[in-house]
């Protein structure tokens, strides 16, 4: 092995240090050995941080062997080389990164030999033999992923981990992706990949956001002539498009071999990929069940350009010398995996099954012209039939079922049938909008979509994955057009037949099995899937029972998605008021009264947007409506804080009810609770923020203090008066995020290691002397001023006391650490234009606010988050204020 | 300490002389007109008079140099003679006389390159890219002064930004006068955040600079109240304090900058001493953000502003009421 010259054109490429660049001569392998006694030497160009690390005196932790795909080259991995060296310089583990240019590719040799998959794997082996490496973690992208896996399976003793970015080891049942099918056709192939740079340009155009011209030029650098591009064409031709292809057996062997991989694995994905869609991620995750998975929403095929994959890889790389933990590496044998069962686990469907002969009403649907009432007996039978029907239709335990069904008996039956057979329900709120919903359903990779005509039309039009089942029986032509293969009534009929024929439902799923994926509202970034196990969902039921005293007698009226489903689990009658569930702000006071009257429920549970509208429409109530509401003993509003005044006006409609505002989030539906009388009692306290009360039964709350830069770095404490991020632990806390491993890591960073599951909420606030939690805003909205971090809600409340101010937002302008606080207000007399507030309003606001304000701005209307009518979009306001106060001409914020 | 203050007949210079004297130092002043400052010894004359300057610095421990030609227009040679050569004469004399401390009073405009300044630091003075003769010559003078920093002579530059207060004949009086005549437009929205310095805080900062010269030597420091305000709010506050209507008509900032440049050129052709109604420099000052990171200044000078903008406005209003 000898080093040869470095390509001169490498010295000026952005992000690439020429010191990493080496050319090594390696004896050829497989075909290249030929019949000659001395095999030909092959000339490889590699980027290698080994020499730099040696010069720096670093002890090398291990080697990452990075393999690019087609038509890129080792340049793809430059961010990882940079980040790994920075980590070593900072005293962290020093990983040597070797990013190769495959033969025929990049600046490696053009050998005049067509290299198929087995040849390329052998080539890579010859290179690593020559380099004499220790433990190796493979990293591959695109078809480089397949080759890196081939190397991994051939070197089990050396293998320490595998990491993959957008790749595939299996062609799956469908045809190969269209762009490649096209490229595989002779003629087109040659034209696209060799004679012209079309294939190269198409690939480079897949970046989100687009690559800059210098980066694109860098990718093109080794492929400037048709001769230099021949490897690209040969590579495309090597995609095994049929059984007879020479690489097909090798690919099949890799696909199967991967199932035996036991070393830590990482799958990093950019879902906006026309070639390697989520389908292939799903396939790989299935083959590598222990793999850490992170989908970068918004990133695409060139995820290495689109997303911070390098920090993901470095965070994941196994600590040198440490034995992999149980969760990092695959269990040696799946059957020996014994779940840590909670002693008192009671399945979610237990109450329903116990009442399976009860003719009393379980669920009331208010959507039609008159209420539809379903008894416990009928609901239990429908659940059993549907469970059998789903099993008969091939739905397996662990399959994901996306439910695009509004709350009501159909949704309830579907949910409990899925839970019964161990299928995982995926629930995304229609309020996400079509685009948000589409991202959610795709991201969760549902196996089955159950929906009404509208939802199924979206599934068909947008190409969502999964078999489609309609809620109602559709005309055959419509069903065919929508690709619907079954309906709930048909499945129930089939299920009844299966049961009559002796089908036995499987045992109840264990407490540690996945039960549900609930999507967040998306008000704080793209909606995230939150995974719950059966034990955790059962704990949600149990905390509602313990904290709110929900019993079979109390009943429950709610249109608020996750809670609407819990009635049967709680063993209590539930009713959904007539409303557009995608727009909770349309719920009227009359609809609530009707649902209460029809169900006799004594507990009403509303979202904050719904509370506002109920208060607004109270004048429509008849005497009979008011009488029905008079029977309500408990009224809850959860989500964004609602003012005591609005809460009080709704509580007046239910004079016998105690009003509560529990605080929670999709990740932990109930964290704290406070009643309206207690809210009024603390109204005079000097604490900043909104008091959300004390932690509920079994929940624990801690505060992680903010540093001067507004980052929550403090060790979790329960000391009063400390401003910081709110941390929560509870039995009913989520299991984790779905395919968002980095988000999972961030959510548990620095949380107590006490055996409990903890979660960073992203909310900031403090605890008071009495152990009550006060919420002061979102972590992302904290200002960093020269006097330290400043949470917005406290000063906003002060500003809102100014006479002419209706609502206020406090935002920061200027750079972090020296931000100036600015008040943006909505005034009682609507401002004509967005800009500086009048002198009078400015004076009032400054007088009301103890925090120094650089400016007071007024807008006709504060922009609010679409989903939460009540949440002010502080991010948009801050960006607008920043530009306006820098003297730029800007449009009003929206 | 014995301290020489130059330019003490000006608004800031007089306040500085009074403040330093009030702290127990023996203050001598040098300027052409009587300083009017109680408790100081005046020497009358120009800083361009080398012999006079040598006499003035003799026996002093420190020099605070404020004397300068401050104007938006005028003969370029005159700016150079006063602002650069005057400073040179003073520095030479100070070094020769064994003066230990030299505070060069400068301006943020010496580093102003015509863009908005948001949480800016004290960038190096840049004579080539400044706007107008004043800023250019003050930039050169600051560079010159800092080049004299040496083991025997601690030199630092202090750049107070938009100094205002009761009795200010420059900023406040002009604004109020224009507003009274209805000739004060706001540029754009008038929303650009600008820093300003209440007079007492500026004087305090100069005293701190003299006292902390050894530790803070060799650098320039921007001094402000650390309370940026929208330009319309600041100007409006001054007008209200004076009992005149706040400006309410708007001119696009870009237009004002172009017009300002044109006016400057026309004024340059006109004989006479009056000031142009608008210059590019002024248009930029009033339409782009100008606020500064004060953390470094406050630490180096061990100084904090004592009078907030709100209190300063109240004092300004009181002064106008007292004037009747």
Give how far A815 is from chain B: nearest CA, Å. 7
Q: CA–CA separation, A294 vs A312, rounded Å?
A: 8
What domains, with CATH codes, occur in chain A? 3-316 (3.40.50.1820), 350-568 (3.40.50.12780), 662-779 (2.30.38.10), 782-884 (3.30.300.30)
Measured between beta carbons, which residues in chain B are less than 8 angstroms from residue A842?
Answer: 233
Inter-chain Cβ pairs, chain A and chain B, closer than 8 A:
66
What is the predicted pLDDT for the residue at B269? 54
Nearest CA in chain A to B227: A854
Nearest CA in chain A to B248: A838
* Interchain contact, A884 vs B189, CB within 8 Å: yes
Does an H or E element contain A255, and which?
helix A248-257
What is the predicted pLDDT for the residue at A890? 81
* pLDDT greater at residue A428 or residue B82: B82
A96 beta partners: A63
H, E, C per residue of A356-395: CCCCCEEEEECCCCCCEEEEHHHHHHHHHHHHHHHHHCCC
- Flag whether pLDDT at A343 surpasses 60: no
Cis check: omega of the bond before B48, within 30 degrees of 0: no
In A638-757 the beta strands, taken as DSSP E runs, fall at: 658-660, 663-665, 668-673, 690-695, 700-705, 724-729, 736-737
Cβ–Cβ under 8 Å, residues A45 and A101: yes
Per-residue pLDDT tens digits for B124-142: 888 888 878 888 999 999 9
What is the predicted pLDDT for the residue at A523? 64
Which one-letter DSSP state was computed for residue B80? I
Given the residues B134, B148, B198, B221, select the one marked as catalytic: B134
Q: What is the mean pLDDT of residues B107-121?
A: 81
Measured between beta carbons, which residues in chain A are less than 8 angstroms from residue B186?
Answer: none
What is the predicted pLDDT for the residue at B81? 93
CA dist B240 to A200, A836, B313, Å? 66, 17, 9
By Cβ distance, the residue of A786, A839, A855 closest to B229 is A855
Q: What is the pTM of this model?
A: 0.84
Q: What is the mean pLDDT of residues A747-774?
A: 94
- Nearest alpha-carbon partner for A566 in A614, A597, A603: A603
pLDDT band (50, 70, 90) for residue A684 = confident
Measured between beta carbons, which residues in chain A are less than 8 angstroms from residue B118?
Answer: 813-815, 886
- Flag whether pLDDT at A683 surpasses 90: no
Per-residue pLDDT tens digits for A475-526: 999 999 999 999 999 999 999 999 999 999 999 999 999 999 998 876 667 7
Mind giving me the DSSP string for B145-195? HHHT-BTTBEEEEEEE-SEE-TT-TTHHHHHHHHHHTT--PEETTS--EE-
* pLDDT greater at residue A715 or residue B185: A715
Per-residue pLDDT tens digits for B267-306: 555 544 455 555 666 666 677 888 999 999 999 999 999 9
- Flag whether pLDDT at A117 surpasses 70: yes
- Nearest alpha-carbon partner for A42 in A109, A115, A99: A109
By Cβ distance, the residue of B189, B228, B310 closest to A836 is B189
Measured between beta carbons, which residues in chain A are less than 8 angstroms from residue B310?
Answer: 846
What is the predicted pLDDT for the residue at A178? 45
* Interchain contact, A887 vs B287, CB within 8 Å: yes
- Nearest alpha-carbon partner for A413 in A374, A445, A447, A439: A374
Secondary structure tally for chain B: helices H, strands E: 13, 15
* Interchain contact, B191 vs A884, CB within 8 Å: yes
Measured between beta carbons, which residues in chain B are less than 8 angstroms from residue A815?
Answer: 118-119
- Flag whether pLDDT at B254 surpasses 90: no
Interface residues from chain B to A (CB-CB < 8 Å): 116, 118-119, 188-193, 226-230, 232-233, 236, 240, 246, 253, 287-289, 291, 293-295, 310
* Interchain contact, B236 vs A839, CB within 8 Å: yes
What is the predicted pLDDT for the residue at A340? 47
**Token pair belonging to A428:** 């995304």
What is the predicted pLDDT for the residue at B71? 74
- Alpha helix ranges (H) inside B251-293: 253-269, 280-287
Q: How is chain B split into domains, by residue range? A: 2-163+197-224+291-306
Per-residue pLDDT tens digits for A434-455: 777 788 888 888 899 999 888 8
Per-residue pLDDT tens digits for B204-249: 999 999 999 999 999 999 999 999 999 889 988 999 999 988 877 6
> Chain A, 835-854: which have a CB under 8 Å from a chain B CB?
835-836, 839, 842, 846, 852, 854
Per-residue pLDDT tens digits for A56-77: 999 999 999 999 998 999 999 9
H, E, C per residue of A473-490: CCCHHHHHHHCEEEEHHH
Q: CA–CA separation, A14 vs A46, rounded Å?
A: 17
- Flag whether pLDDT at A185 surpasses 60: no
Whether residue A889 lies within 8 A of chain B, CB to CB, comes out as yes
Examine the residue annotation and report whether B320 is marked as an active-site residue of this protein.
no
CATH superfamily of B2-163+197-224+291-306: NAD(P)-binding Rossmann-like Domain (3.40.50.720)
CA dist A623 to A187, A481, A605, A617, Å? 79, 49, 22, 14
**Token pair belonging to A195:** 């004679």
What is the predicted pLDDT for the residue at B255? 61
Q: CA–CA separation, A691 vs A26, rounded Å?
A: 69
Please give the ipTM for the structure prediction.
0.89
Give how far B275 is from chain A: nearest CA, Å. 26
Counting residues of chain A whose pLDDT is more than 90, the rounded percentage is 62
Which one-letter DSSP state was computed for residue B249? -
- Alpha helix ranges (H) inside A727-781: 741-748
* Interchain contact, A887 vs B188, CB within 8 Å: yes
Mean pLDDT, chain A, rounded, equals 87
């Amino acid at each position: 092995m000898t080093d040869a010259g470095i390509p001169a054109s490498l010295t000026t490429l952005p992000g690439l240090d020429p010191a990493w660049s080496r050319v090594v001569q390696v004896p050829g392998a497989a075909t290249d050995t030929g019949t000659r006694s001395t095999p030909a030497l092959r000339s490889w160009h590699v980027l290698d941080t080994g020499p730099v690390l040696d010069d720096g005196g670093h002890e090398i932790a291990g080697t990452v062997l990075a393999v690019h795909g087609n038509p890129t080259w080792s340049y793809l991995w430059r961010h990882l080389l940079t980040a790994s060296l920075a980590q070593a310089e900072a005293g962290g583990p020093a990983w040597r990164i070797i990013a190769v240019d495959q033969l025929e590719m990049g600046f490696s040799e053009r050998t005049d030999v067509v290299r198929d998959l087995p040849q390329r794997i052998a080539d890579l082996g010859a290179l690593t033999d020559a380099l004499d490496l220790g433990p190796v973690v493979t990293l591959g992208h695109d078809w480089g992923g397949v080759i890196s896996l081939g190397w991994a399976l051939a070197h089990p003793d050396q293998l320490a981990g595998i990491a993959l970015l957008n790749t595939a080891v299996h062609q799956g049942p469908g045809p190969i992706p269209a762009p490649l099918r096209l490229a595989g056709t002779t003629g087109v192939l040659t034209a696209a990949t060799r004679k012209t740079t079309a294939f190269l340009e198409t690939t480079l155009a897949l970046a989100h956001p687009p690559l800059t011209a210098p980066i694109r030029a860098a990718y093109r650098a080794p492929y400037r002539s048709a001769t230099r591009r021949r490897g690209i064409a040969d590579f495309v031709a090597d995609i095994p498009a049929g059984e007879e292809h020479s690489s097909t057996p090798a690919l099949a062997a890799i696909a199967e071999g991967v199932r035996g991989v036991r070393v830590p694995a990482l799958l990093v994905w950019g879902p906006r990929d026309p070639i390697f869609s989520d389908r292939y991620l799903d396939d790989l995750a299935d083959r590598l069940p222990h793999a850490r998975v992170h989908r970068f929403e918004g990133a695409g095929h060139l995820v290495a350009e689109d997303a911070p994959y390098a920090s993901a890889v470095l965070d994941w790389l196994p600590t040198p010398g440490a034995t992999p933990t149980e969760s990092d590496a695959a269990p040696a044998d799946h059957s020996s995996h014994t779940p840590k069962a909670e002693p008192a686990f009671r399945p979610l469907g237990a109450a329903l099954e116990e009442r399976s002969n009860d003719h009393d009403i379980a669920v009331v649907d208010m959507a039609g012209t008159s209420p539809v009432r379903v008894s416990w007996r009928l609901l239990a039978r429908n659940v059993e039939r549907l469970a059998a029907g789903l099993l008969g239709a091939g739905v397996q335990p662990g399959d994901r079922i996306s439910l695009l069904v509004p709350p009501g008996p159909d949704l309830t039956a579907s949910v409990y049938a899925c839970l019964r057979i161990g299928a995982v329900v995926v629930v995304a709120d229609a309020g996400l909008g079509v685009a948000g919903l589409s991202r959610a359903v795709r991201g969760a990779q549902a196996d089955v979509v159950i929906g009404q005509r509208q939802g199924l039309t979206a599934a068909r039009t947008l190409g969502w994955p999964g078999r489609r089942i309609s809620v109602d029986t559709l005309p055959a032509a419509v069903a065919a057009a929508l690709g619907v293969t079954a309906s709930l009534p048909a499945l129930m009929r089939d299920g009844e037949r299966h049961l009559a024929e002796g089908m036995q439902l499987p045992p109840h799923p264990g407490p540690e099995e996945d039960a549900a994926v609930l999507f967040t509202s998306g008000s704080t970034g793209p909606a995230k899937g939150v995974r719950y196990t059966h034990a955790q969902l059962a704990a949600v039921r149990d905390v509602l029972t313990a904290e709110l005293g929900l019993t079979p007698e109390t009943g429950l009226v709610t249109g608020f998605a996750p809670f609407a489903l819990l009635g049967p689990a709680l063993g209590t009658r539930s009713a959904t008021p007539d409303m557009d569930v995608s727009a909770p702000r349309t719920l009227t006071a009359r609809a609530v009264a009707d649902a209460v009257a029809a169900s006799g429920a004594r507990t009403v549970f509303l979202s904050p947007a719904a509370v506002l509208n109920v208060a607004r429409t109270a004048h429509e109530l008849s005497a009979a409506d008011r009488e029905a509401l008079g029977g309500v003993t408990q009224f809850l509003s959860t989500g964004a804080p609602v003012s005591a005044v609005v809460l009080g006006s709704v509580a007046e409609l239910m004079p016998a009810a105690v009003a509560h505002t529990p605080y929670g989030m999709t990740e932990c539906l109930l964290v704290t609770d406070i009643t309206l009388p207690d809210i009024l009692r603390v109204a005079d306290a000097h604490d900043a923020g909104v008091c959300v009360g004390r932690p509920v039964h079994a929940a624990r709350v801690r505060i992680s203090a903010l540093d001067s830069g507004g980052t929550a770095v403090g060790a979790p404490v329960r000391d009063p008066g400390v401003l910081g991020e709110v941390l929560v632990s509870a039995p009913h806390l989520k299991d984790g995020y779905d395919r968002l491993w980095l988000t999972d890591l961030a959510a548990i960073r620095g949380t107590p290691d006490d055996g409990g599951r903890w979660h960073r909420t992203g909310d900031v606030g403090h605890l008071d002397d009495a152990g009550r939690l006060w919420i002061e805003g979102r972590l992302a909205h904290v200002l960093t001023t020269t006097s330290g971090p400043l949470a917005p809600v406290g000063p906003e409340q002060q500003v809102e006391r100014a006479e002419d101010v209706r609502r206020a937002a406090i935002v920061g302008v200027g750079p972090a650490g020296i931000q100036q606080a600015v008040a943006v207000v909505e005034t009682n007399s609507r401002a004509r234009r967005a800009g500086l507030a009048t002198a009078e309003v400015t004076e009032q606001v400054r007088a009301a606010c103890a925090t120094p304000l650089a400016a007071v701005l007024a807008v006709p209307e504060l922009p609010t988050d679409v989903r939460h009518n009540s949440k002010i979009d502080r991010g948009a306001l801050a960006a607008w204020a920043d530009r306006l106060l820098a003297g730029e001409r800007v449009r009003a914020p929206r | 300490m014995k301290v020489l203050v130059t330019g003490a007949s000006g608004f800031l210079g007089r306040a500085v002389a009074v403040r330093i004297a009030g702290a127990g130092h023996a203050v001598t002043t040098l300027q052409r007109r009587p300083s009017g400052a109680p408790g100081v010894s005046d020497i009358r004359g120009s800083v361009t008079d080398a012999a006079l300057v040598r006499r003035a610095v003799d026996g002093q421990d420190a020099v605070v140099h404020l004397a300068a030609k401050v104007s938006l227009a005028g003969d370029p040679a005159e700016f150079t003679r006063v602002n650069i050569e005057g400073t040179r004469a003073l520095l030479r004399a100070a070094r020769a006389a064994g003066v230990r401390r030299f505070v060069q009073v400068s301006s943020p405009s010496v580093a102003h390159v015509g863009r908005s300044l948001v949480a800016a630091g004290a960038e190096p003075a840049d004579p080539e890219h400044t706007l107008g003769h004043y800023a250019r010559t003050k930039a050169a003078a600051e560079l010159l002064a800092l080049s004299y920093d040496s083991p025997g002579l601690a030199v630092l530059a202090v750049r107070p930004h938009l100094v205002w207060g009761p009795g200010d004949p420059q900023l406040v009086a002009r604004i109020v006068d224009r507003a009274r005549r209805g000739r004060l437009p706001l540029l754009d929205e008038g929303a650009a955040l600008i820093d300003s310095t209440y007079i007492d805080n500026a004087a305090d900062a100069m005293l701190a600079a003299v006292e902390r010269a050894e530790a803070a030597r060799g650098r320039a420091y921007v001094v402000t109240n650390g309370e940026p305000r929208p330009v319309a709010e600041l100007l409006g506050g001054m007008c209200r304090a004076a009992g005149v209507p706040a400006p309410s008509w708007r001119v696009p900032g870009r237009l004002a900058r172009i017009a300002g440049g044109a006016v400057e050129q026309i004024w340059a052709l006109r004989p006479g001493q009056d000031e142009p109604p608008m210059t590019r420099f002024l248009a930029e000052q009033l339409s782009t953000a100008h606020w500064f990171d004060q953390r470094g200044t406050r630490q180096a000078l061990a100084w904090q502003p004592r009078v907030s903008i709100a209190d300063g406005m109240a004092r300004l209003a009181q002064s106008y009421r007292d004037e009747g």
